[in-house]
């Protein structure tokens, strides 16, 4: 992944975090949050492997994102976490992986 998509995804991650902290109810929050959960964790992780084909990148990103979301949900149930703490942890890990993509040389 080049720096531009990683930067855009990092900005989406920060926007989702800002909307979650502000507790603002709007359709934009729903769209950004669902988009975040479907794409960002997987793209942040899959981009480190640098798949050769774009279609493989997108397919893996969606699959990894859904798998990570399910694992976080199961951990929340098992450990009694609050959803905002789990969401914050997922945001922080995704932002960290995207920051690596932004500063890493191509």
Q: How many domains is the chain partitioned into structurally?
A: 1
In DSSP notation, 36-98 reads HHHHHHHHHHHTTT--SSHHHHHHHHHHHHHHHHHHHHHHHHHHT--HHHHHHHHHHHHHHHH
Question: Which contiguous run of DSSP H or E holds residue 22?
Answer: helix 3-22
Residue 88, pLDDT score: 92
For residues 102 and 4, is the Cβ–Cβ distance under 8 A? Answer: no
Residue 89, pLDDT score: 93
Residue 105, pLDDT score: 76
- Give me the domain span that covers residue 8: 3-103
Mean pLDDT by 10 residues, the chain (106 residues): 88 94 91 94 91 89 96 93 91 95 84
| DSSP symbol at 104 | S
């Amino acid at each position: 992944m080049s720096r531009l998509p990683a930067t855009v995804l990092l900005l989406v991650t920060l926007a989702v975090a800002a909307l979650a902290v502000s507790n603002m109810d709007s359709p934009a929050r729903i769209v950004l949050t669902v988009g975040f959960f479907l794409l960002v964790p997987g793209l942040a992780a899959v981009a480190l492997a640098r798949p050769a084909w774009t279609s493989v990148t997108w397919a893996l990103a969606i699959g990894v994102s859904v798998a990570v979301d399910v694992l976080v949900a199961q951990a929340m149930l098992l450990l009694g976490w609050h959803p905002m703490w789990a969401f914050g942890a997922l945001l922080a890990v995704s932002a960290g992986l995207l920051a690596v993509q932004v500063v890493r040389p191509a």
